[in-house]
Amino acid sequence: MEYFTLPSEMHLLFFVGVMFILSEAAGNLANSIDLPRMIGYIAAGIVFGPYVLNWYDRPLIEVEMAFFREFALSIIAFSIGGALQMPLVRRLRSSLTWITLLQTSLASLLVFLAMWWLLPFTNGGPDVRWQVIALILAAVSAATAPAAVLSLVDEYRAQGEFKSALLGIVALDDVIAVLFYSIAIAVAASLLGQDNGGIPGALVESGFHLLTELTIGLLIGFITAKSLAYFSEYRTMLGTLLGLIMAITGFCLSVGISALLICLTVGFMVTNVARHELADEAMEIINTVQQPVFGVFFFTAGAHLDIGLVFTSGALVLAIVLTLSRFAGKYLGTLAGGWLAGTDPQLTRNLGLSLLPAAGVMVGLTLNAGDSFRQSLGDYTDVMVATVIGATLINEFLTPFFVRHAIRRQG
């Protein structure tokens, strides 16, 4: 009978397989009570994650499954790029430009002002460290969660100009968020007395990274688009595209750059350079694997959320204020940008609601800043992280309903 006893430590594949099953079951349960599937995925991650039942402990979620989460985000980025067809992008370029610039800038500005005013009340009056935290929170608030938006667009089958404009703005959002973050880190280092080359150095470094990623994406995307004819059989193309995205993700993790922009650019090149029928088939193939990928991605995202941390050091109040000020900046900035670009008012209003989700990029940049300044900020770092986790938690459970309403209203 000893041959039938379960091992004390199960293999990683066991946990991955069970995660697929749990996420899909939770997604179906959410749908059965008229909730977006994403709510079910996140709730399952919270329940089975390290802070509730602990079926998936922190090392498993944060270390062993990290590569899988990155791979899922790369597939999502490829899909966003694949939705950006040049004829629609050209027609919407004025809207994309004005809305992106104004909603990111206004969201960051309002978050900075709110945090700069409120943070000193949480722990002992004015302090340069509170200014640093306000600056970092403002920078990361510019980002929009690409996975959340694409998941809801896919689930509710948004189409046409609304889908193209939304995904185009989301793609540009994260590039701008990285630039804002680089400036914030440089200013923060100066305020804390750390010499890091100042704002010009930070901008040059960020620009170099973005240019490198864009160049790699354009090159790989062009080769892929021209090679699809040799992999036109459905099963062959499926293996080729998944293998390509996995290889890009692994390469980026190895050399320390982001796969997000590279995969987005590859998807953009495939849909605009490959022959029309091949491009459509490639995007259809990726769409077939998207739903389980969303399930795993949001399951792990939910497992990362430490709800207990949110209720410490006034973080819940800070999270609510951050969320409201970011919402106001995103929505009002979108309305202003749409007005300047002469965009249809209904389309503008629906885009404003659809740009509210925030999760992975926002949390990732905040954790990175916490690691960079932990020695200088001390316990203040925990307040910053707890605030962002609280805001993410609010976002994950509220914004799906806003996006669903916008998609249905757009028709």
User: CB 305: neighbour CB atoms within 10 A?
Assistant: 22
- Domains identified in the chain and CATH numbers: 22-64 (no CATH), 65-287+307-410 (1.20.1530.20)
Structure tokens at 11: 């293999």
For position 193, what pLDDT does the model report? 72
Are 115 and 248 within 8 A, CB to CB?
Answer: no
DSSP character for 311?
T
Quick one: 335 exposed, middle or buried, by C-beta within 10 A (0-12, 13-18, 19+)? buried
Find how far residue 206's CA is from the centre of its chain: 18
For position 93, what pLDDT does the model report? 81
Q: What is the DSSP code string of 142-158?
A: T---HHHHHHHHHHTT-
Structure tokens at 43: 């709730």
Q: What is the pLDDT along the chain (411 residues), one digit of tens a residue?
A: 445 544 557 888 888 899 999 999 998 998 888 888 888 888 898 889 888 888 888 888 878 887 887 888 888 888 888 877 787 778 778 888 899 899 999 999 999 999 888 877 765 556 778 888 888 889 888 888 777 787 888 877 777 778 888 888 887 887 788 788 878 877 887 777 766 566 676 667 777 877 888 899 999 999 988 888 887 776 788 888 889 999 998 998 888 777 888 888 898 898 888 887 777 788 788 877 777 888 888 888 788 777 777 676 577 888 899 999 999 999 999 999 999 988 888 888 988 888 888 766 777 777 777 777 777 777 778 778 788 878 887 887 888 888 888 888 877
For position 102, what pLDDT does the model report? 93
For position 6, what pLDDT does the model report? 47
Structure tokens at 58: 């922190």
For position 219, what pLDDT does the model report? 94
E-strand spans in 87-187?
none
Amino acid at 32: S
User: CB 209: neighbour CB atoms within 10 A?
Assistant: 16
Euclidean distance between CA atoms 309 and 370, whole angstroms? 15
Look up the pTM and report it.
Answer: 0.78
